[in-house]
Amino acid sequence: MSTVTIEKILKAIDSFSPFCYAYEWDNCGLIIGSRDREVRKIAVSLDLGIKSVEKAVQEGCNCIVTHHPPVFHPIKKIDFSSYTGKLIEKAIQFGINVIAAHTNWDTSPNGGNKFLASQLGLVELEPISLPRPNLPSPSWDGVIGKLKFPVNTEALAEEIKARGSFSWVKYYGDCPNISTVAVCEGAGGDLWQEALRAGASAFVTAELKHHQIQEALDAGLSLIELSHAQMEDLTMQALAEKIKAYVGVDVVLVTGAFKEEKIIYKR
Ligand SMILES: [Fe+2]
């Protein structure tokens, strides 16, 4: 078998989830490491945390593909006492190359948003596309789909919680009859108007802001709010499987650090 390099992994990701779909503010691709390094085994993780680096090392990996870019804002110095500095130090110390597949993964036509919508039980999926020029096909900034059976807001929240094995879900609104639902991975609250325009009666995303909730509810849109990490963790399995299928190297998931996230309500 031919050698698998970091360059080969970048090309593989670019073929199933092209980097041209990343938002211009984003920082995707090779973040730490060298394109010509040979890859033994790949770890996939939502984030580059101290624990995920340690787990990757234990698993014998020398490459981590993260969803969130560990270096996002430009940095002028690498201070090992800062969180980012510590992560860079650890990665270099253990010979770990780091690649980020962030909004290219979310919004490419067969990426995270589409996968998430189908995992949550939606069918007849169509993209919700923001106007973004020069893309080979419309981006999947969000997804709109149908439920097999109409439900009310509370039942939809319960169904989604069960389907994703999420430890919590919040819902807003009391629509009695929802059959069309929009989904956006991560903090997608800004997309609520596009979701409504596309015909959704409910919108599923994370990290909703107070004013987004207020305006969406007044416009008649029900909202289902999930944990950002748990929602995106769900799509890391699909990312890992795609990488494995495209490059033929062992891939292991080292994510799931937020599974214990709980919200407890007391009366
Ligand atoms: Fe995210």
pLDDT values of the chain reduced to their tens digit, one per residue, 267 residues: 578 999 999 999 999 999 999 999 999 999 999 999 999 999 999 999 998 999 999 999 999 999 999 999 999 999 999 999 999 999 999 999 999 999 999 999 999 999 999 999 999 999 999 999 999 999 999 999 999 999 999 999 999 999 999 989 999 999 999 999 999 999 999 999 999 999 999 999 999 999 999 999 999 999 999 999 999 999 999 999 999 999 989 999 997 655 555 665 544
Here the CATH number for the domain that contains residue 248 is 3.40.1390.30
- Dmax over CA atoms of the chain, in Å, equals 61
Instruction: Give the domain range for residue 213.
Output: 106-229
In a domain, 265, yes or no: no
Is residue 260 situated within a structural domain?
Answer: no
For ligand 1, an ion, list residues with CB under 5 A: 186, 232
How many angstroms separate the alpha carbon of residue 188 from the centre of ligand 1? 9
Q: How far is the CA of 255 from the centre of ligand 1 (A)?
A: 13
Q: Are residues 128 and 82 in the same domain?
A: no
Centre of ligand 1 from the C-alpha of residue 152, in Å: 27
Q: Half-sphere exposure of 171 toward its Cβ, with a 13 Å CA cutoff? A: 18
Which pTM does this prediction carry?
0.94
Residue 261 lies in a domain: no
Is residue 57 assigned to a domain? yes
Residue 202 belongs to some domain of the structure: yes
Instruction: Say yes or no: 143 and 223 in one domain.
Output: yes
Q: How many Å lie between the centroid of ligand 1 and the Cα of residue 106? A: 9
**Within a domain: 224:** yes
- 16 and 124 co-located in one domain: no
Task: Say if 90 falls within a structural domain.
Answer: yes
* Cα 47 to ligand 1 centroid, rounded to whole Å: 9
Question: How far does residue 3's CA lie from ligand 1's centre (Å)?
Answer: 32
**Amino acid identity at 82:** S
What is the C-alpha separation between 192 and 23, in angstroms, rounded? 18
Q: Take residue 161 and report the two structure tokens written for it.
A: 């919680």
Give, for 100, the enclosing helix (H) or strand (E).
strand 97-100
- Ligand 1 centre and the CA of 1: distance in Å? 35
Tell how far the Cα of 191 is from the centroid of ligand 1, in angstroms. 15
Verify that 81 and 114 share a domain, yes or no.
Answer: no
Compute the distance from residue 245 Cα to the ligand 1 centre, in Å: 24
What is the C-alpha separation between 105 and 240, in angstroms, rounded?
Answer: 12
Ligand 1 geometric centre to CA of 26 (Å)? 11
Tokens for 60, please give them.
């014998």
Do 195 and 90 have their domain in common? no
Same domain, 32 and 94: yes
Nearest to 255 by CA among 67, 13, 52: 52
133 and 80 share one domain: no
Residues 219 and 150 grouped into a single domain: yes
Helix (H) or strand (E) holding 62: none
Distance 165 CA to ligand 1 centre (A): 18
pLDDT computed for residue 267 by the predictor = 46
Residues 189 and 243 in one domain: no
- Residue 175 φ then ψ, to 5°: -65, 125
In this structure, is residue 264 part of a structural domain?
Answer: no
Domain total for the chain? 2
| 8 Å CB contact between 171 and 205 | no
Q: How far is the CA of 232 from the centre of ligand 1 (A)?
A: 6
